[in-house]
């Protein structure tokens, strides 16, 4: 996480994933995390950003619990405001992960919305005590509701969560179709972030 990989230019935060040798690794990138600085319980979280597109890129704006109240991942939950993998360019995913619903058990609960990757979009969640709704440019495309009777295994979302912005290179999902090394040369792949905004629910 060096200034080389994450900096503000022309009014936007730019996260760069680059192909370069650094401390024995072939690629560098950055992860920006609000843990220890700010977290939230419920509210509307919006991120305006423009996506990287190369095969092998895995861009995300997501949330994790600040304290692991129910144990390690996925027990304490994860909210993926937006995920995008380059080999499936233009399809953005909004997902939650819990002990009951997660991809390790093939029970994850998520939806996909197509976007124009050449443009900025506003990705958002509206998080209340009984649901998490997912939106792109104010269009709701997914909703995860609290079950009744409630259990922490299905709904661990009554605790503070913090925001994470990052580009991964490869990985279990992003690297499924390999990595287009040439697209990470020079400036590499960039996720441009105009802003992150958090609003309280009234």
Whether 23 is catalytic is no
- Among this protein's residues, is 185 annotated catalytic? no
Q: What is the DSSP string of 100-121?
A: SS-TTTT--EEEEEE--TTS-E
- DSSP structure string for 158-192: SS-EEEEEEEEESHHHHTTT---GGGGSTT-EEEE
What is the 8-class DSSP label of residue 90? Answer: T
Per-residue tokens: 39: 């977290």
User: What's the order of all strands across the beta sheet hosting 78-85?
Assistant: 31-33, 161-169, 57-65, 78-85, 91-97, 109-114
User: In Å, how far are 58, 171, 194 from 11, measured between CA atoms?
Assistant: 23, 30, 7
| Ramachandran category for residue 198: left, alpha or beta (phi over 0 → left; psi -120 to 50 → alpha) | beta
**Which of these is catalytic: 83, 119, 147, 192?**
83
Q: Which of 46, 78, 143, 153 is catalytic?
A: 78
**25 Cβ partners below 8 Å, 6+ apart?**
none
**DSSP code for 77:** -
d(C-alpha 143, C-alpha 110), whole Å: 8
Q: Which of the residues are catalytic?
A: 78, 83
């Amino acid at each position: 996480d060096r200034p080389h990989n994450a900096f503000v230019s022309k009014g936007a935060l730019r996260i760069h994933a680059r192909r370069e040798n650094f401390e024995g690794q072939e690629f560098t990138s950055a992860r920006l995390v609000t843990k220890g600085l700010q977290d939230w319980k419920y509210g509307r979280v919006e991120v305006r950003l423009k996506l990287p597109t190369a095969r092998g890129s895995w861009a995300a704006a997501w949330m994790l619990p600040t304290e692991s109240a129910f144990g390690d991942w996925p027990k304490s939950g994860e909210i993926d405001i937006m995920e995008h993998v380059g080999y499936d360019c233009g399809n953005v995913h909004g997902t939650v992960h819990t002990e009951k619903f997660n991809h390790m058990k093939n029970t994850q609960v998520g939806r996909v919305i197509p976007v124009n990757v050449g443009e900025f979009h506003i990705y958002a969640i509206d998080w209340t005590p009984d649901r998490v709704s997912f939106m792109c440019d104010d269009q709701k495309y997914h909703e995860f509701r609290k079950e009744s009777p409630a259990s922490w295994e299905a709904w661990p979302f009554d605790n503070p969560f913090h925001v994470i912005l990052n580009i991964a290179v490869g990985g279990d999902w992003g690297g499924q179709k390999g990595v287009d090394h040439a697209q990470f040369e020079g400036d590499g792949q960039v996720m441009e972030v105009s802003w992150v905004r958090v609003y309280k629910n009234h």
